[in-house]
Structure 1
């Protein structure tokens, strides 16, 4: 964004100047039409966004919304839905068209800024959610001090500021239908890939995501101890295992996607690995739909009630994702 302000428009940014060819020539030169992959991506993104709507509606219910963890989960859900527009719906459209950066430079530049900012924002939201759950289990007074009432909204300004930094001051990602993913290098000028390097993004992927995974591991240990205290050693294994696999799944998907994205922007990797990294990015924003419905009884029952299905009224364990 700072370069748009500096140069006056996207077309005037020297490293993003596409005047050497027409959009059609750029597509023919660097692009590959992928209609099947495009339709699959668009279908996935639209489906996940539709499935997210009743989940968010349940989270907005008064009894849920008054809890700080649900406020954070709502924000994370909204960010996930927006990110799915970038990595699935718009990506699917671009793949279907066989587009590269210079085919739709304005759309891809702006979408690339948004996608990068949303990914980094979601990393901090996830970290905030785990900290919220950890403090609620171990330091309830601290949790109330940091997250009660309006303080939750104040905490949530941090991921907004963090994500905005990547939007305004770092290199955006650019789509390539040949690789079916987003790179920092828009592939306009040969041998200039180093000039598009985004060091803060690498820092985010390797450090912030790793810290979030460590926090999830700590949360699993603390929750296991709490369950043992309440239910005894013979009754806790099922819940502890469930929570562990939920946390491990979230961490594994995000961490592998993060590492692949860092590597593929510095060295050439096989196409299947590049596509795997992109699929994991999509999964990281879509998987919460299935995790909430499968492992969070409060949300699952709320969604079923809205669909007219009779459910048990038994209270559920506090949300953990």
Structure 2
């Protein structure tokens, strides 16, 4: 058995391992052969995707109004999530209802998987940005916010995008499989396949997500324990109050990423029961679709902006009126 090598996506597509014709000509006939129609999970995915995209719109408008580094990072994450939700939920749901597999429409599913893995709206890119958001909050708590000042935030985000593009363009993509209700690197053209479909870069990315997610929050706990006295000062309390809510938001999003990353690495190397595969797919959907729910529930700035926008029917500034001191006080108390 030979492994599909890393290389440019446009060359990988022509690798013999992705040639459906060695078993049967591509087309809808593959849907009938695999008989993978999954109406319930498919309908859930479509409805969840529509709801998430709808809720994200006012959140994005609110995030766009704020210029602090953490809100810029959250806005970038929102853009990525909205671009990738069709892959993880909307198109995925339609594919389940139709019983789609890779060979139903090879070109479409190949490049759809590449976009979801490493395109501009990618899993790998979004994973890195979630970690950057958590590090941003740690720096704020330590009084090191200068690390993200000005163009530095843009630099970190640019590195994330370049990283995502590199993974998507130079490694094998995952493909939708309705029978197993998720995305797999193996296109399952033949169940006695002579090729091995492994994406090493994806595995490294997911393992890194698990490791660094745990490390960031372990470090946070250590900082809080070691600096309890300093954090009780007026300045420390302000930093703690400003960071706590966004820490919680980033932590919940990172939790979905962490669970999904762990299971996706496991299931592409070892046998995994169907229910655990479904959990992994749900966590991927939650990682991209739950942030607007988290923001609207826990973020005063975004919630206030959304309420005002719905009430007036137009975009409004989250903070208006009052003295400069009042606005600064309100901004500090409602950060995150």
TM-score (norm 2): 0.82
Match of 1:318 in 2: 335
User: Which of 25, 28, 33 is equivalent to 1:29?
Assistant: 33
Which residues of structure 1 form unaligned runs of 5+?
A: none
Q: How does 1:165-244 map to 2 (within 5 A)?
A: 165-192=166-193, 195-219=196-220, 222=223, 225=228, 228-230=232-234
Q: How does 1:267-278 map to 2 (within 5 A)?
A: 267-278=270-281
* Superposed CA offset, 1:156-188 (max 9, x none): 111111111211111100111011100110101
Match of 1:306 in 2: 309
Match of 2:322 in 1: none
Which residues of structure 2 form unaligned runs of 5+?
A: 1-5, 313-317, 320-326
Aligned residues: 309
TM-score (norm 1): 0.85
C-alpha separation between the residues in 2 aligned to 1:157 and 1:240? 24
Paired residue secondary structure (2:77): helix
User: Which of 63, 70, 73 is equivalent to 1:59?
Assistant: 63
User: Which of 8, 11, 25 is equivalent to 1:6?
Assistant: 11
Match of 1:78 in 2: 79
Distance 1:148 1:299, change over 3 A: same
- Report deviation, 1:110: 0.8
C-alpha separation between the residues in 1 aligned to 2:82 and 2:209? 21
